[in-house]
Amino acid sequence: MLPAPQEKISTGPFKQLHNVQSIYMRIGDRLSEVLGQLPFEELRAIAIVPAMPAVLYALVTLFQYAEGVSDLQAAQAVCTRLDWKYALQLPIDFTGIDPACLCTFRLGTRESQLAQKGLERLLNALTDQGLIARRERTTTAQEVIRSVCMLNRLETMLVAMGQALKGAATQKPDWLQAHIPTHWMERYPCQTKNSLPVNWEKQNHLAQQIAEDALYFIALAQPETALTARLSSELHHLKVICQMQLKQEGGELRWSPPPCKRCIIL
């Protein structure tokens, strides 16, 4: 169970900032009850990341799945969002978590059947609180892990593409305007601010779009990189990311499934 913080967010100021029916407020109010329903051995099994309460990373992972946010976005949310802090029963001045630990948690859970059972029980309990919409069939822990990992893969590609486009806009603005659709600058920001899809089909559709755009841009920009070292560096980074994430299979472009290297995993 999460430790009782010395300066927990009180319901008074929280209600002034958020609707009293907030799902996260409801989770925070009932967290002790929810965790009390988990078998102790399953609760211990999901304590994969040391020096943190057993279920903190499990809860954050499920929040990620509900909202479609990456590890970096989730770490920022734990640091800055009062609703998440209230739900997690964290003190107001809690400074956040290391995004890499979320990946470590998923890797450990993926290898432990008992931890997966604990995560699924927690998922069902939070579904009862309204965090995630009910479906005709039960969502498995493996599906949650796969979806959240893909969120991070998508973010990696989006950011790498955004950085390459920004470099081209700075170094070769006329060339960029002549060759690249104007809406790409909005499609590929240097920092992901919005949520990403958690539905597997939508994730794959977005992944295919990013991959095709990235390879098109690399092929088009390659001759221009000799003119500017900065563009060459950013384009090289994008190429490395593409090589890690993508592969050609039977004439089709697919996302590769190597062992996890910070969410290079399916």
Q: Are 96 and 84 in contact (CB under 8 A)?
A: no
The verdict on residue 131 lying in a domain is yes
Domain endpoint, select from 92, 122, 139: 139
Give 41-66 pLDDT, tens digit per residue: 776 766 666 656 768 999 999 999 99
105 and 173 inside one domain? no
CA-based diameter of the chain, in Å?
A: 63
Q: Are 211 and 157 in contact (CB under 8 A)?
A: yes
Give 103-112 pLDDT, tens digit per residue: 988 988 888 8
Chain-centre distance of CA 256, in angstroms? 18
Domain endpoint, select from 139, 170, 203: 139
CA-angle at 114, arms to 149 and 203, nearest 5°:
20
Strand spans (E) along the chain: 246-249, 252-255
Residue 193, pLDDT above cutoff 90: no
For the record, the structure tokens of 76 come out as 């920022």
pLDDT at 6: 40
Of the candidates 227, 237, 242, the one whose C-alpha atom is nearest the C-alpha of residue 175 is 227
Of the candidates 189, 179, 185, the one whose C-alpha atom is nearest the C-alpha of residue 157 is 189
Domain membership of residue 70 as a residue range = 11-139
Look over the chain and give the mean of its residue pLDDT values, rounded to a whole number: 81
Number of separate domains in the chain: 2
pLDDT at 3: 43
18 and 99 inside one domain? yes
Chain-centre distance of CA 21, in angstroms? 25
